Structure 1
Amino acid sequence: MMSSTISPAPLLSLSPSPSQSHLPSPFAFRRGLCLVCHSFSQSESQADKPNSWRQLHWKEKRPRRKANAISDKEVVHQFDQLLAAKNLYQINQYLKDYAKTSNNSYPTVFSLFTRLTQAEGIGPNEYTYAILMDCCARMNQVNLMFGFLGRFLKEGHSVNNAMIFSPILKGLCWEKRTGEAATIVLYKMAKLGCIPDVVSYSILINGLSKDGEIDKAMDIVDVMISKGYDPDVITYSILINGLCKKGEIQKAMDIVDVMISKGLEPNVVTYSTLIDGLCKKGEIERALNFLDVMISKGYNPDAITYSTLIDGLCKKGEIEKAMDFVDVMISKGCDPDVITYSTLITGLCKNGETERALNILDVMISKGCEPNGVTYNTLIDGLCKKGETKRALNFLDVMISKGHEPDVVTYGTLIDGLCKKGEITKAKELFFEMISKGVDPDAMIYCTLIEGLCKEGGEIE
């Protein structure tokens, strides 16, 4: 039963409590919104700093397209023209498209929303609010989303379209507040007269799967089916991904069988997920069989799929087969990317074949594929393990010159390699260099350096 696995989250309430019987005034709401936008703008300026958490958060977790070269003044002018035409469909499309241009566009979107609310003879609808709430989710401002929902309800709009809740569910799941998301889907939406749809359930299932709560995710699928909704390929693929990440490959295979029995054909994502899961379990032959099935169904594997197989082969020590797969992917019109090349370099270095790894690096660069920090760390590690610390230090300089800041792994690898070669003076210099650059040594680095100093009979000055 669902009640035994997912209980209502007590912190969430979509209806006003006695102490919150009225929503903030429009002035207070706008003032709060302005403060959030200001805070967001400030945080965006911080995102340009090296090693910034927000830089990773925006650029890796939820990447956005580059902004178009258009001034705020021109945006307002275009929007005002749409307001004059009183075409809400075009207005919503404009807001949606502009929100996609850049992370910095969100405050402007809110400003345009304010102009819409102040216009005569036209006002926002549920699609407008959904766009705004999606912006809030991407800003990690879940509470502001609830503020917009409260305003939406206060204006007398009905919530018969589940779409209005999708940004809230996404935002909560992104913040790992899946219990609250489950409460909304299973209880709160119905109380507000809104029936969850396939998208609502799929967002929740995805959030639970990513949190490792695969059993609860499968419970939600059962609830979804009991409500008359059939899971689609996306829903099943989410479950398969969650099961593969937990190493439960056979259960994932069973889900594939269920999919097929319901007339649903696995897609490229489904096959790639299974191939990844099998490779991580070391079942390369089964993974290769699925690759053949995937191709026979007319799906073209991408660089990620091939890189997954190459990684699996490298980890099993089958380097030559991995190299052959690079030729196969190229023959299929799929160019190796930085992950593919780095995977090969890692496999070769772990096999002690640093010279071949360096040859792969040369090929990589000649193809216009720029090595990343992982690539350089791998090569430095391989060279240190071979005792070639001078070449490893040269790669540290190259790495820095290419704009890749060495991290604790880079310095730890080099210090370990230097200490093992008895080059304690250089190891100490590197130790103080990393501190001067704001990289904190970990326990392993201290232990390595202390051990090296003890053998030498020296000390850290």
Structure 2
Amino acid sequence: MLCVLSLAPFSSPSQSRSRSRSQSRSPFLPNVRCLFGNGKQLQEKRRRHSKADAISTQEVLDLFDQLSTAQNPPPSIYQFNQLFAALVRTRTATDNPVFSLFSRLIQAEGISPNDYTYKIMMDCCARTNQVGLLFGFLGRFLKEGCKTNVVVFSSILKSLCWENRIDEAAIIVLDKMPKMGYAPNVVSYNILIDALCRKGEIEKAMDFLHDMMSKGQEPDVVTYNILIRGLCHNGEIEKAMDYLHDMMSKGREPDVVTYNTLINGLCKNGQIDKAVDCLHDMISKGFEPNIVTYNTLTDGLCKNGEIEIAMDFLHNMVSKGHKPDVVTYNTLIGGLCKKGEIEKAVDFLHDMMSKGREPDVVTYNTLIDGLCKKGEIEKAVDFLHDMTSKGRKPDVVTYSTLIDGLCKKGETEKAVGFLDDMMFNGHKPDVVTYSTLIDGLCKKGETEKAVDFLRIMLGKGLTPNLVTYNSVIHGLSKLGHWKEAFNVFRELVERGFLADDYSYGAFLGSLCKQGQSKVVNKLLDLMIKRGLKPSIFSHTS
């Protein structure tokens, strides 16, 4: 049963006017007659304020106030709809002022929302994933005698699919819409097919495709792009290519999105040669690769170790008039670091900055990781300082990488110092951070400190993983502290972890050295029951 929307009262126009007079006027605030006098002017305003932060919420409220109090000529619902539509297109946050403005509109005298107003509201609900509110607007929409249509149903379908209520959306398409006299169109089916593909339920998506076609609806390029993306994500590249050929045989021309999707799927499946072939096919059919195309191929080549070819693509990209973005540079820097070519990676950083591209936290994290893996910790720390001096805030990954690098060099005291810095700067260490530090301390023989950090970790509500426990058990065992190792091992089991051969091996080694043969036999029996075969390691640790 549909609920009827109940919107709380909002501040009156007079209150808003008095509030706005006390504030300075923004240069963005135009004369209302100029803004709403005709559609072309509003479209121009929309174009200039296309970014969500281009006009503040206060300015929107002031515009609404001026419009709602205009006398000559009086405003029409069409003008309010223009403002609402512009807000919906430029704002996606759940605090979009369009809802509060609608509440004020329905309290105003002489102006009533029409069917288009409600469609705008429902579209906003769909965009912000507010299903309950959408059905509330739908209740008012139907109560006031407005006629629904396929566009309204599309908003409902989007919202249901966003909430993973795909079965309910399917009932609307297959049953409710036809019964109400509305034939689902290609957009209706695309919403369902997209939701199913994102869940990995490709077969069900195919069923809807066949149902759609059986009812006379031909798939469009969006349908094919959705299916191709879903198949590529599932690793079914051959089927995705089949759909490309099927698409073209039916007179549907692929677009840049189609090719980018296929190239991305081929790269992720390690089929770089085929991805390059796909690029050539794309160009031969008159499609110009865009920055996404080049970045996708560059990423695939770098991950495959083909740095030189990736560089060639970069030069080709520049020669075609495309400017490398931060993603391009980060990909190449990552590829060079992976190959151990840190100096070249640093050169790319400088090249990036000389061309006006500011490195982001990913850029710095990549370089810091590369330097740490080469054991060049001091240089990695220098990059941390450079990063902060340029206003880039280190994140958990930055600190965890440095802590890992320091621990591997045995510099655990400095690693603990970075943990303190990390928390001082407002970052919460995660399981990976603590596990890295605990492992480093255990390997250096500072097992008591490691156990202290294990307790701190538990006190913060973080659940250690098997690797964390294994590090502590192994560290205690090496020192011959078998009772402490047993306590940690028991805690591991009590917390529901399935101890592996390494866990048992570390503990058995300690017990064997202490001559605890009875306990050893019990643990061996437990290993066999859990399906773990005692190995040479288990007896010799």
Q: TM-score, normalised by structure 2?
A: 0.69
Q: Is the 8 A contact 2:229 2:261 kept in 1?
A: yes
Letter in 1 for 2:190: S
Q: Is the 8 A contact 2:232 2:265 kept in 1?
A: yes
- Are the structure 2 counterparts of residues 226 and 68 from structure 1 closer, same or farther at C-alpha, using a change threshold of 3 Å? same
CA shift for structure 1 position 80 = 8.8
CA shift for structure 1 position 138 = 1.9
Q: Out of 284, 297, 300, which is 2:307 matched to? A: 284
Q: State the partner residue of 1:138.
A: 162
Q: Equivalent residue of 2:231, what SS?
A: helix
- Are the structure 2 counterparts of residues 83 and 319 from structure 1 closer, same or farther at C-alpha, using a change threshold of 3 Å? farther
Letter in 1 for 2:150: E
Q: Is the 8 A contact 1:162 1:196 kept in 2?
A: yes
Q: State the partner residue of 1:49.
A: none
Show CA shifts across 1:129-187 (max 9, x none).
1122112222222123224323222210123x3111222122112211121112212x1
Q: Does 1:304 find its partner at 2:332?
A: no
* Residue correspondence of structure 1 range 336-375 to structure 2 within 5 A: 336-375=359-398
Q: Does 1:86 find its partner at 2:114?
A: yes
CA shift for structure 1 position 85 = 5.2
Q: State the partner residue of 2:206.
A: 182
* Residue correspondence of structure 1 range 256-275 to structure 2 within 5 A: 256-275=279-298
Q: Which shifted more, 424-433 or 139-148?
A: 139-148
Identity of aligned residues (%): 45
Q: Out of 152, 170, 185, which is 2:177 matched to? A: 152
Determine the C-alpha separation between the residues in 1 that align with 2:304 and 2:402: 26
Q: Is the 8 A contact 1:79 1:91 kept in 2?
A: no
Determine the C-alpha separation between the residues in 2 that align with 1:151 and 1:135: 16
Q: Out of 116, 123, 133, which is 1:96 matched to? A: 123
Determine the C-alpha separation between the residues in 2 that align with 1:79 and 1:259: 52
Q: Is the 8 A contact 1:169 1:203 kept in 2?
A: yes
5+ residue gaps, structure 2, are 6-90, 488-541
- Are the structure 2 counterparts of residues 65 and 359 from structure 1 closer, same or farther at C-alpha, using a change threshold of 3 Å? farther
CA shift for structure 1 position 368 = 1.8
Q: Is the 8 A contact 2:105 2:112 kept in 1?
A: no
Determine the C-alpha separation between the residues in 2 that align with 1:171 and 1:79: 35
Q: State the partner residue of 1:314.
A: 337
Q: Equivalent residue of 1:438, what SS?
A: coil
Q: State the partner residue of 1:390.
A: 413
Determine the C-alpha separation between the residues in 2 that align with 1:189 and 1:360: 56
CA shift for structure 1 position 87 = 4.8
Q: Does 1:109 find its partner at 2:134?
A: yes
CA shift for structure 1 position 292 = 0.7
Determine the C-alpha separation between the residues in 1 that align with 2:293 and 2:406: 38
Q: Is the 8 A contact 2:272 2:301 kept in 1?
A: yes
CA shift for structure 1 position 286 = 0.4
* Residue correspondence of structure 1 range 245-260 to structure 2 within 5 A: 245-260=268-283
Show CA shifts across 1:247-283 (max 9, x none).
1000001111111111111111111100000000111
Determine the C-alpha separation between the residues in 2 that align with 1:127 and 1:295: 42
5+ residue gaps, structure 1, are 1-26, 35-63
Determine the C-alpha separation between the residues in 2 that align with 1:307 and 1:364: 15
* Bigger Cα Rg: 2
Letter in 2 for 1:201: Y
CA shift for structure 1 position 439 = 2.7
- Are the structure 2 counterparts of residues 286 and 157 from structure 1 closer, same or farther at C-alpha, using a change threshold of 3 Å? same
- Are the structure 2 counterparts of residues 78 and 183 from structure 1 closer, same or farther at C-alpha, using a change threshold of 3 Å? farther
Q: TM-score, normalised by structure 1?
A: 0.80
Letter in 2 for 1:118: K
Q: State the partner residue of 1:123.
A: 147
Determine the C-alpha separation between the residues in 2 that align with 1:139 and 1:180: 18
- Are the structure 2 counterparts of residues 318 and 325 from structure 1 closer, same or farther at C-alpha, using a change threshold of 3 Å? same
Q: Is the 8 A contact 2:126 2:158 kept in 1?
A: no
Letter in 1 for 2:93: K
Determine the C-alpha separation between the residues in 2 that align with 1:406 and 1:97: 38
CA shift for structure 1 position 79 = 7.2
CA shift for structure 1 position 295 = 1.0
CA shift for structure 1 position 447 = 2.3
Q: Which shifted more, 448-457 or 279-288?
A: 448-457
Letter in 2 for 1:184: F
Letter in 2 for 1:215: E
Q: State the partner residue of 1:66.
A: 93
- Are the structure 2 counterparts of residues 78 and 282 from structure 1 closer, same or farther at C-alpha, using a change threshold of 3 Å? farther
Q: State the partner residue of 2:466.
A: 443
Determine the C-alpha separation between the residues in 1 that align with 2:124 and 2:261: 27
CA shift for structure 1 position 450 = 1.8
Determine the C-alpha separation between the residues in 2 that align with 1:95 and 1:286: 49
**RMSD (CA atoms):** 2.4
Q: Out of 241, 249, 262, which is 1:226 matched to? A: 249
Q: Which shifted more, 308-317 or 397-406?
A: 397-406
- Are the structure 2 counterparts of residues 171 and 327 from structure 1 closer, same or farther at C-alpha, using a change threshold of 3 Å? same
Show CA shifts across 1:228-258 (max 9, x none).
2111111011000000001100000111111
Q: Is the 8 A contact 2:263 2:275 kept in 1?
A: yes
Determine the C-alpha separation between the residues in 2 that align with 1:271 and 1:421: 46
Q: Is the 8 A contact 2:125 2:159 kept in 1?
A: no
Q: Is the 8 A contact 1:142 1:168 kept in 2?
A: yes
| Higher relative contact order (CA closer than 8 Å, sequence separation 6+) | 1
Q: Is the 8 A contact 2:121 2:137 kept in 1?
A: no
CA shift for structure 1 position 445 = 2.3
- Are the structure 2 counterparts of residues 250 and 445 from structure 1 closer, same or farther at C-alpha, using a change threshold of 3 Å? same
CA shift for structure 1 position 206 = 0.8
Aligned residues: 397
